[in-house]
Structure 1
């Protein structure tokens, strides 16, 4: 089979690896519009479950990823001068640049051709064309009417930054300013560096002058606001073409269908989930695993692509529900920020819950603590989340029709 993958991010590279492992005779080329070694972002996060799946599908890639990752198991929140620490699941961070190096080297070793600085604007001749070129996918946009693409923008502006401060835990810090609250999430991705995401309400953003701050001025102001958490380390960013700091509002992207003929969507080209759940790279790699499996087990291409779409749409429902409620939690921060820090941090950990927006926060906190002791309540919460997600998805489909 001749396969062309448009986009040299984690999803496209990992799919090429899996397909070559399944059948070395596949003719696979990955095209990337940017030069090799250039990438956006700083570090990415993932959890033990993904690493176990990588070991199951390509142990060599999994070993390299694990060896180049840092790990943590605690979450720390700084609120109103109080520091609260919770033990959590084992998490990992790896530099995006390093992850792409690992995947590219593995793909080349298996015989995949990698073509950088090569823009693809229409589907090339191939048995299978994979659009793995991100949220602004050129190929998906070309057929947006067929795919039923929809994008919804969030309310809060945010910015990705890096720092030489190395966090040993997944760190949250909330600061009150004269213009409202602003907060930072920080996590390590190498022994020398960490990623920081800063978010705030629109009125805080404009009130602090962050909407007008330049490439150096904005990160310097944020470093002063969070100086105690950063231990005096600076924040660095990537400038936009006009020299401004690249603040964004998150775009949640969905598609009614994921394939058109022999063209199929993968990763962020097919879906996005809010950055606050840290699942983007994981979901993209899981897309690649599911597509490779469907192609292996179903030799008829249309049926294989339909199976891939059904499997991934179903699997994504809980993650998309969690991401939607997580984003809303931050957009409604005043509802929670006045709680005692221990309760506020506990509800931060429960921000994916479909019940939380509708239950008074302190009552929810008491119910959640009781649920931790009662198996019946735990089962009810596990049952309710996916059920609400399916209901929301069904309503969305009805609205689109």
Structure 2
């Protein structure tokens, strides 16, 4: 059945949904409306992990190949704290420029016959009435969702710590954490590469440190110079770069807004990506979750002919799938808000608990006790894995020894 779809917002969720719907049925009439000019976007690089790339290859190998070819990867995490550097192997991670990701998805969508309308803002007062389905992919401040906020049951909670999203000319070789102590408290950054000459660098601290350092009132040049000095060891002399805002080239210190909605659809309007939900940036899942929304919505529309049934199925499926990520995000944000609990540990232990920051148990146990229990559990898991791996070979060896013993005994009896 041919469907007319209007995707409002030209982010990853809208673009990938348009690709999947066209692959399902080339006759679908799909338009993506983006209010900003073509080629403009916010942010620096986005991060994702091997599992998402495997998922993209399953649903559209062509765009997955282009994304993989434009990404940088790493297999380690590194933390700099109190003059020590700690490295640990980890899952394979990837970084890609947000601009490049959108460029790839837009080109793929266009090649399939999706209309891309740039510089065209769709307002809540003038929704696309021609569409059978309207997809609100217009972000955390969604105008389409905002008009019916009571229906959607929108709730927003604001985090405590200020943060700023920056770029740098330093190309990190791993997912990098750096913690710096100042006279006003600790300040830290996370960085990862996304291009041959760029990395993302997110800086965060608690409110007292932010005001104590004067970052709340510093101009762009002074603020960047201060941060470059604080993280000089990890930046190796490279610059930090602030992105310009719509109102001028000022640094944009924010506090994270966690958004949830009681329901994700109303009539023929459905929410995807940040319009539907947000998770704290410290788990690096925003882009993955947006793309998974698109995959789930496309599948629901394929499997259910009636639109209300499709949208209800999509909402149930995605809400359930989001629960682990939302829990991990809450505890991850809390770990950084409670940094003094962990920063005094030996660097190896502190970095190990940084990797365990998603655990709901960690805030309720003394950190060193949790670390000992986690190590003991890790050793038990390693032993069980070794047993499973060696089990068949060990059984064959014991069986062979038993047969050999029986044969020797038989030979002695024959003699």
TM range, normalised to the smaller chain? over 0.9
Please say which of residues 151-160 and 118-127 is displaced more in the overlay: 118-127
Aligned residue in 2 for 1:344:
350
Q: Secondary structure at the match of 1:93?
A: strand
CA contact (8 A) 1:214 1:243 kept: no
- Which whole-Å CA distance do the structure 1 matches of 2:278 and 2:43 have between them? 16
- Which whole-Å CA distance do the structure 2 matches of 1:131 and 1:30 have between them? 10
Aligned residue in 2 for 1:304:
310
Question: Which of residues 159, 162, 166 is equivalent to 2:164?
Answer: 159
Aligned residue in 1 for 2:332:
326
Q: Unaligned stretches of 5+ in structure 1?
A: 379-401
Cα displacement (A) at 1:191 = 1.4
- Which whole-Å CA distance do the structure 2 matches of 1:76 and 1:332 have between them? 20
- Which whole-Å CA distance do the structure 2 matches of 1:323 and 1:371 have between them? 23
* C-alpha distance after superposition, 1:350-393 (max 9, x if no partner): 00000000000000000000111224999xxxxxxxxxxxxxxx
Aligned residue in 2 for 1:55:
57
Aligned residue in 2 for 1:212:
217
Aligned residue in 1 for 2:405:
none
* C-alpha distance after superposition, 1:274-300 (max 9, x if no partner): 000000000000000000000001111
CA contact (8 A) 1:157 1:202 kept: yes
Q: Secondary structure at the match of 1:372?
A: helix
- Which whole-Å CA distance do the structure 2 matches of 1:313 and 1:53 have between them? 19
- Which whole-Å CA distance do the structure 2 matches of 1:220 and 1:26 have between them? 52
Question: Which of residues 97, 106, 109 is equivalent to 1:107?
Answer: 109
- CA gap 1:376/1:196 in 2 versus in 1, 3 angstroms: closer
Q: Unaligned stretches of 5+ in structure 2?
A: 385-415
CA contact (8 A) 2:210 2:216 kept: yes
- Asked which structure has the greater CA Rg, the reply is 2
Q: Secondary structure at the match of 1:61?
A: helix
Spell out structure 1 runs of 4+ moving beyond 6 A: none
Question: Which of residues 279, 293, 299 is equivalent to 2:299?
Answer: 293
* C-alpha distance after superposition, 1:97-122 (max 9, x if no partner): 00000000000000000001111113
Aligned residue in 2 for 1:96:
98
1:370 corresponds to 2:372:
no
Aligned residue in 1 for 2:10:
8
TM-score (norm 2): 0.90
Counting matched residue pairs gives: 379
Cα displacement (A) at 1:221 = 1.0
Question: Which of residues 227, 252, 256 is equivalent to 1:222?
Answer: 227
How much is the aligned-residue C-alpha RMSD, in angstroms? 1.4
* C-alpha distance after superposition, 1:239-281 (max 9, x if no partner): 4425531000000000000000110000000000000000000
- Which whole-Å CA distance do the structure 2 matches of 1:6 and 1:242 have between them? 26
